Chain A
Amino acid sequence: DSGVTQTPKHLITATGQRVTLRCSPRSGDLSVYWYQQSLDQGLQFLIQYYNGEERAKGNILERFSAQQFPDLHSELNLSSLELGDSALYFCASSVGRGSSYEQYFGPGTRLTVT
């Protein structure tokens, strides 16, 4: 158990809908990262927050947005969903400083868009 929690574990929804994925980082970790894992794109970095502020952006679509709240949990909002958004979405957390920056991953949310 990495200490990172994600809800829900599975999500099935229809095209055009909007969903919210939730992540709670490990105790003491200030950084939260979101990744998308799909068969065709592999594992891709989406966005990072550090102590409530956006710090880095990767291949995140404009239809997607995220935020980190004062209690450090984070939410990833996916809107106007398309079939191609079906993927495993991971949240990871790290201390956000130090020499290694190792990231600990949550169990993921498997999103299926039908």
Chain B
Amino acid sequence: AQKITQTQPGMFVQEKEAVTLDCTYDTSDQSYGLFWYKQPSSGEMIFLIYQGSYDEQNATEGRYSLNFQKARKSANLVISASQLGDSAMYFCAMRGPISSGSARQLTFGSGTQLTVLP
């Protein structure tokens, strides 16, 4: 079974500063994928970034980067130069191996509420 743990229920960061949101995962699969989603107060889920378990380099998408440490089973999201619009709930999620049925669903963590302070 897959499990995602996000230990920070809430985080605060000053505008223009960088922030790291923690995510650890548990799986016995060798092949898997890790995702981060953003959920603003309006409720929609916005895909941010993806990291495959065999990807050698950490994923980056604009101001978002994923600090992937496979041995530690962690996939932390780093947001650089925080903006007020980054205030939202952030979810870490994973899928299983492509060859298995568990690739067809995402397992989500409990989320971290990020507040960017002016």
Contacts and interface: CB of A to CB of B under 8 A. Distances in A.
Q: Is the interface of A mostly helix, strand, loop or mixed?
A: strand
Contacts of A102: 35, 47, 50
Interface in B80-118: 91, 93, 95, 98, 101-108, 110-111
Contacts of B46: 2, 105
B47 A99 contact: no
A33 B91 contact: no
B96 to A, nearest CB: 10
A103 B106 contact: yes
Contacts of B18: none
Nearest to A105: B45
Which interface class (under 10, 10 to 19, 20 to 34, 35 or more) fits B?
20 to 34
B98 A45 contact: no
A6 B106 CA distance: 19
A45 B107 contact: yes
A33 B111 contact: no
A99 B105 contact: no
A71 to B, nearest CB: 21
B104 A55 contact: yes
Given A45-B107, A102-B50, A105-B37, A88 B101 contact: no
B50 A48 contact: no
B44 A107 contact: yes
B45 A45 contact: no
Interface of A: 2, 31, 33, 35, 42-45, 48, 50, 55-56, 58, 88, 90, 92, 99-108, 110
